[in-house]
Each structure stands twice: as C-alpha cells, then as structure tokens.
Structure 1
C-alpha cells in the first residue's frame, strides 16, 4: 500500500446514518480486496440507490474491479441487511471531480486545483478554492488567491472542519487522465 503514516491514510470525512452503517461494512471488504473506500452516498427515493466509491491505491480501477467489489460487497450487505427494502448497489471509481477524503489525498494531488467547504466559517468564509499544497499538522494546505490579481498565499484548513473537498476538473487534467489510462 502506502508508506504514509496511518494518520494520513485515515479518512477525515465520515458518512452519517445509513450511509455510515454501509461504510463501516464496506471498508474492511474493500481493504481485503486491495482497495480503499472513498465514500458512500445514498440517493434515490428513500435511499434506494447505494453508491460506493472506491479506489485502488497507486493505480486505476477497472470495470472488472468494480464488478468484483460489487459481488463481495453485495454478499456482506445481504448478510447484515443495513437497509430496509430493496436497493441498487453502484460501485465506481472517483473520477475527475474526485473527492478528497484523506490527508494523504492532499499529498497525492499536489498542484491540482481543489474546492474545500468547511462545516463552519474561518474569517467569514466557508468555501475555498485553490491549488493543493499538501497536508501538515492536521490541516489541508491550499494556495489561494483571495482577490483577483492579488498575491497568492498558503492557508491551512483543519481536517476536522472539512465538510467536503474535491478536485476541480479541467481540460488539462482530463487530457492527462486519458493519456495515463491509455498507457495502462
């Protein structure tokens, strides 16, 4: 896996309610298969669709990977029955607008643009957009430019306050991602 410390590998985002129960069941299954949980999201009427986003550390996910995860995870979910009634399970890879859910994500995606939303305001702001500059001392670091034409500065946002963080897709990152996938 990774040579990063366990604290950098632990997800700072946590689901709630039924999504949390499913995440707690899914995480060990994914780890056993060599994958990591990115997030679980419920959608559809009454949470009838369970979306599990996973990744293969250091490599791209394939359709076969998603199918293998789906088979294993379906058995565990059927055995523990965390949802009342019928539901659809969807397994996917993170994609271009990839959620950033671990401190290590802020190391892996250095130099890429990201949006971060906090649970409470810092200096009157809850939303930040900037270039990923790593993780340090319990904080995600971003290079932000608060005023158009103003000087860029590095800020630290406490992981404990991050409600949502994700990469911002652009044409260049799409082109890079496509060329990487062709190389595999």
Structure 2
C-alpha cells in the first residue's frame, strides 16, 4: 500500500494508545539512531495522552559538563527516527517528535545515569527527610547495590535509590562550570 493511501487510511482512524511493544521499538530505534550518529542515547519518553509524543535525549559519549550535542546532531537523529516512525503502520500519521540534549541539569532516572554522575554534584528530593530537609545537595561518591552515597558538608550519607523521588545534576551557571 502506498504511503499516500496509508496516510489517508490512518488519518480517518483515531490515534491508538501507545503500546509497550511500540514504545520498546521506538527506544530500539533511538539507540540505533544515536549509535549511527556516534552519540549516546540518554533517555526516551513516550506518551499517547492527547496525541502521540516522543521525546528522545541524546548526548556525546564521555561528554564533559557543558559540552552537549549540537542542534545539527539532534536534527540528524530526528530525521533518522522520523523515517522509521513514518514507515511503521502502528504509528499514527500525527505525532510530536522532539530530539534534544538532556541538558546540564539533567534528570537522573536510570541506574546508568547515577553511575555516570559519580563525582558530580547532584540534587535529590528524598522521601524521608535528611537533617530536616526533603531536598539535599551533595557530591555523589558512589552508586552500588541501588544505594547512593553522597558527600554533604563533609559528612557521608547513604540513601537507598527507593528513597529518592527525584534526582538531577546541578550546574553552577554563574561560573559556567559544573559544581
């Protein structure tokens, strides 16, 4: 079936929910696209609430803080993914695709993110207060057995990953360097 006919047929049908199967396929395509363009896949966020949305975050392997990917690199990855999405019958004609860097104050959501953040300053929102605070900032010194070890004001604190509700890197924008 030609692309025009397929688009006409798909335009008449309502958008289907984004299944786990297609979400996994999109993540595999994102890995492939990043690898082809000598980048590293950082994260993929998919949603079908209010229409399909695919956010892909790519980075340079072993990038130093503040030396993210160029807009042109994101555009190349976007075109690569777009071709794969358009060719797949399971994907509706209308979707939003965004490809970007995870940013200098990137969210930490996967174990690999924490491993790469060792020796960097992180901000954690914790479920149980530490010294009366739900938000703590410190240098991540290790991540082992799903436990984060932070150095905070000269003290060492261990926090189970299950006790963290949000985490991100911090960046000193005033000096344009990673804290």
Settle same-fold status: TM greater than 0.5. yes
Establish whether residue 176 from structure 1 lines up as the match of residue 170 from structure 2.
no
CA distance in 2, matches of 1:43, 1:137: 30
Superposed displacement of residue 111, structure 1: 4.2
In our comparison, the structure showing a higher alpha carbon Rg is: 2
Check conservation: 1:144, 1:155, Cα contact below 8 A.
no
Q: Partner residue of 2:26?
A: 22
Q: Partner residue of 2:12?
A: none
Establish whether residue 54 from structure 1 lines up as the match of residue 58 from structure 2.
yes
Where do 1:1-184 residues align within 5 Å? 22-42=26-46, 46-59=50-63, 60-81=68-89, 83-117=91-125, 121=127, 128-131=135-138, 132-144=140-152, 152-158=155-161, 164-172=166-174, 175-176=176-177
Check conservation: 2:149, 2:156, Cα contact below 8 A.
no
Q: 5+ unaligned residues in a row in structure 2: which ranges?
A: 1-18
Residue aligned with 1:27, SS? helix
Superposed displacement of residue 65, structure 1: 1.0
Superposed displacement of residue 70, structure 1: 0.8
Check conservation: 1:50, 1:89, Cα contact below 8 A.
yes
Residue aligned with 1:46, SS? coil
Superposed displacement of residue 42, structure 1: 4.5
Q: 5+ unaligned residues in a row in structure 1: which ranges?
A: 1-15, 146-150, 178-184
Count the aligned residue pairs.
Answer: 153
CA RMSD of aligned residues (A): 3.7
Q: Partner residue of 2:4?
A: none
- Structure number with the bigger relative contact order (C-alpha 8 A, sep ≥ 6) is 1
Check conservation: 2:43, 2:56, Cα contact below 8 A.
yes
Check conservation: 2:171, 2:177, Cα contact below 8 A.
no
CA distance in 2, matches of 1:58, 1:96: 14
TM-score (norm 1): 0.61
TM-score (norm 2): 0.63
